[in-house]
Amino acid sequence: MNLLLTLPLLIPLATATALLLSWRYRRAQRFLSVVGATALLGSSLGLLSSVWRHGIHVSQIGNWPAPFGITLVADLLSATMVVLAGLVGLVVVVYSLVSIDARRESFGYHWLLHILLMGVCGSFLTGDIFNLYVWFEVMLIASFVLMTLGGERAQLEGAIKYVTLNLMSSALFLAAIGILYGAVGTLNMADLARQLNTVSSPGLATTLAILFLISFGIKAAVFPFFTWLPASYHTPPVAISAIFAGLLTKVGVYALIRVFTLLFVQDVGYTHSVILVIAGLTMVTGVLGAAAQREVRRILSFHIVSQIGYMIMGLGLLTPMALAGSVFYLIHHIIVKTNLFLISGVMHRLRGTYLLAQLGGLYQAAPLLALLFLIPASSLAGIPPLSGFWAKFVLVRAGLESEQYVIVATALAVSLLTLFSMTKIWAEAFWKPSANNGQRTAAEPASLTLLLPIGALAGLTVLIGLVAEPVFVLSWRAAEQLMNPAQYTEAVLGKTR
Amino acid sequence: METLLALVIGGLYGAGLYLMMRRSMVKLILGLVLLGHAANLLIFTVSRLTRGQSPIVPPDQTTLVAPFADPVPQALVLTAIVIGFGVQAFAIVLLKRAHQVIGTDDLDQMNTTDT
């Protein structure tokens, strides 16, 4: 048993249990929630540094040998994702100390948040495809309840679409797992990677690949399957939107990267060109949807879709450089998108609305907030020297190296349109004179507890931009591990056979 | 047996998808339930059906003797049933609450959060 590997699962579980026990004591709950999230971030950083130094970590739960028991694996990609989950968890917990109302807290908001974090970390760390399904469900059930917590009309309407599409995707995923087991006879991902090469009919492997592509694609909100996201992500309170925007779709992207670098690399010419086409269409449709919107959180929701395209693009190109770009983009995007949602929450507190037409004059009212908005917004659009520039730079260079000029042109054009919608928010909400002069609808000032998480994430964005080298080296090494599945299978199953 | 189950699974998928395409919330949830059952039966069927052979090691042996049912798909289906049960229970409560708040069963009228 490797303690570092199990801690990211045990800490949220222990925190959630402690929160259940202190259900009626609100102060204790808030305290425990912050402590739990900090501990999660700390342990995940420990895991990352240990994986960095000693290579892939493997732990067999219950000491059953590899293809039979339940395996936990952390390579650099998993460990990085767990760190990001811990970071977003801590930031959102601190932010929601002020922004979540007492009623939602008394209905178990913090408890659900930690269950969600446990599901997310479990999905990143599991080495078994059926366990991936189980962790997905843990995460989904917590997210369903978080989304409907409070029971407002818009939330319920959004939740119906969110729940239906995610249940469809789970049913597909389950069916795909069943067929996979029927064909290969194992569920351990490392073992699958070895056995799939021996499957007699290559058509079956490709069919399975497309089934997985669809079911993870729904969760990651890629091109034809993304409509549930903009219909639902803007309905719950902003702290919940922020953690969904930062983490949940990225779990889908992570699963896609894992499955399409480890398992389905037999028919790369077909599957990965499908992924590349989907990536391009996802970018374009997402950004066009965002351009048409007039409400801050809806613009941001559509931008999640468009940015998913960039991450999938690296996977479709399937070179070490491209995958490094995808990993870099994941790191950058989780930080930036969470931050933008958190800022939209402060804007809402200052003006009482998310509609661009009614916002205005925020630059005068809150210059610090304006600066804090400008950093992630320009990073999202890819302006140097912020983190988004480097992420896009690596992807574009990888695209040029593999001579996929269409996707590179799409990526660059979509960047411009992203800049357009970010300037739209900037001009309408911050620059233009205040619409209802003098009478602020919601006069609650932005407190330090709200600005602290935003400032921390903005600082990280600048830091990644200025000191891109270590982050790039991390992404590069993670990509090398992904490109070389033998490392993964050897770590899990050993060298024999 | 396989042929019969294949037909049943196809029928369940068809019926489930058809119900989900209707405008009623009640039919939506019934469709989701049918899809879940279809997926469970699919797992069971594709991993080879074995009749009347339990995966139990005989008393005088140390390993399983040849014609035995594979226990893994059974464990998978069992887990999937439990998870599906929980999620479907949640979905039913959600739809009931949505019906109370919105006051209609028609999915076409639940479009205020779209676009």
Nearest CB to A158; choose among B47, B80, B113? B113
- Taking the C-alpha atoms of residue B36 and residue B71, their distance in angstroms, rounded to an integer, is 20
3-state secondary structure of B15: helix
Is the Cβ of B18 closer than 8 Å to some Cβ of chain A? no
A249-262 and A468-483 helices cross at what angle (nearest 10)?
50
Cα nearest neighbour of A301 on chain B: B115
Inter-chain touch B98–A163, beta carbons under 8 Å: no
Contacts of residue A53, defined as CB under 8 A and 6 or more positions apart, other chains included, come to none
Residue identified by tokens 């009212």 is: A365
The pLDDT value recorded for residue A435 is 65
How many Å lie between the alpha carbon of B115 and the closest alpha carbon of chain A?
A: 7
> What does the H/E/C string look like for chain A?
CCHHHHHHHHHHHHHHHHHHHCCCCHHHHHHHHHHHHHHHHHHHHHHHHHHHHHCCEEEEECCCCCCCCEEEEECHHHHHHHHHHHHHHHHHHHHHHHHCCHHHHHCCHHHHHHHHHHHHHHHHHECEHHHHHHHHHHHHHHHHHHHHCCCCHHHHHHHHHHHHHHHHHHHHHHHHHHHHHHHHCCCEHHHHHHHHHHCCCHHHHHHHHHHHHHHHHHHHCCHHHCCHHHHHCCCCCHHHHHHHHHHHHHHHHHHHHHHHHHCCCCCHHHHHHHHHHHHHHHHHHHHHHHHCCCEHHHHHHHHHHHHHHHHHHHHHHCCHHHHHHHHHHHHHHHHHHHHHHHHHHHHHHHHCCCECCCCCCHHHHCHHHHHHHHHHHHHHHCCCCCHHHHHHHHHHHHHHHCCCHHHHHHHHHHHHHHHHHHHHHHHHHHHCCCCCCCCCCCCCCCCHHHHHHHHHHHHHHHHHHHCHHHHHHHHHHHHHHHHCHHHHHHHHHCCCC
- Taking the C-alpha atoms of residue A309 and residue A279, their distance in angstroms, rounded to an integer, is 4
* Angle at alpha carbon of residue A140, lines to A139 and A142, rounded to 5°: 70
In residues, how long is chain A?
497
Residues of A in contact with B90 (CB under 8 A): 141, 144-145, 163
Q: What is the DSSP letter of B48?
A: -
Is the Cβ of B89 closer than 8 Å to some Cβ of chain A? no
How many Cβ pairs within 8 Å bridge chains A and B? Answer: 108
**Is-contact A156 B97, C-beta < 8 A?**
yes
Is the Cβ of B83 closer than 8 Å to some Cβ of chain A? yes
Burial class (CB in 10 A: 0-12, 13-18, 19+), A425: buried
Residues of A in contact with B83 (CB under 8 A): 134, 137
- Taking the C-alpha atoms of residue A420 and residue A451, their distance in angstroms, rounded to an integer, is 26
- Taking the C-alpha atoms of residue B44 and residue A207, their distance in angstroms, rounded to an integer, is 19
Q: Which two tokens stand for residue A359?
A: 């916002």
3-state secondary structure of B106: strand
Sign of CA dihedral B12, B16, B17, B22: positive
Is the Cβ of B74 closer than 8 Å to some Cβ of chain A? no
The pLDDT value recorded for residue A428 is 85
Cis peptide before B71 (omega within 30 of 0): no
**Is-contact A169 A177, C-beta < 8 A?**
no
Residues of B in contact with A161 (CB under 8 A): 113
Residues of B in contact with A134 (CB under 8 A): 79, 83
Cα nearest neighbour of A293 on chain B: B115
Is the Cβ of A159 closer than 8 Å to some Cβ of chain B? yes
Inter-chain touch A157–B102, beta carbons under 8 Å: yes
Q: What is the mean pLDDT of the segment spanning B25-41?
A: 92
**Is-contact A378 A421, C-beta < 8 A?**
no
Residues of A in contact with B86 (CB under 8 A): 141
What's the complex ipTM?
0.92
Inter-chain touch A174–B46, beta carbons under 8 Å: no
**Is-contact A102 A25, C-beta < 8 A?**
no
Query: For residue A197, how many other CB atoms are within 10 A of its CB?
Result: 10
Nearest CB to B35; choose among A157, A168, A227? A168
Sign of CA dihedral A181, B10, B106, A222: positive
**Residue closest to A118 by CA, chosen among A39, A65, A56, A46:** A39
How many Å lie between the alpha carbon of B59 and the closest alpha carbon of chain A?
A: 23
Q: Which two tokens stand for residue A239?
A: 């702290």
Nearest CB to A178; choose among B28, B36, B46? B46
3-state secondary structure of B31: helix
Residues of A in contact with B93 (CB under 8 A): none
Cα nearest neighbour of B95 on chain A: A160
Is the Cβ of B5 closer than 8 Å to some Cβ of chain A? no
Residue A378: what residue type?
S
Sign of CA dihedral A150, A156, A161, A164: positive
**Is-contact A328 A379, C-beta < 8 A?**
no
The pLDDT value recorded for residue A444 is 58
The pLDDT value recorded for residue A47 is 93
Contacts of residue A259, defined as CB under 8 A and 6 or more positions apart, other chains included, come to A209, A212, A216
Contacts of residue A327, defined as CB under 8 A and 6 or more positions apart, other chains included, come to A77, A80, A314, A474, A475, A478, A479
All residue ranges of chain A with pLDDT < 50 are: 497
How many Å lie between the alpha carbon of B36 and the closest alpha carbon of chain A?
A: 6
Is the Cβ of A175 closer than 8 Å to some Cβ of chain B? yes
Strand partners, A355: A295
Is the Cβ of B105 closer than 8 Å to some Cβ of chain A? no
Contacts of residue B28, defined as CB under 8 A and 6 or more positions apart, other chains included, come to A160, A164, B19, B20, B22, B95, B107
Number of helices (H), then strands (E), belonging to chain B: the values are: 3, 0
Q: What is the mean pLDDT of the segment spanning B69-97?
A: 90
Q: What is the DSSP letter of B54?
A: -
The pLDDT value recorded for residue A384 is 82
Cα nearest neighbour of B86 on chain A: A141
How many Å lie between the alpha carbon of B30 and the closest alpha carbon of chain A?
A: 11
Is the Cβ of A235 closer than 8 Å to some Cβ of chain B? yes
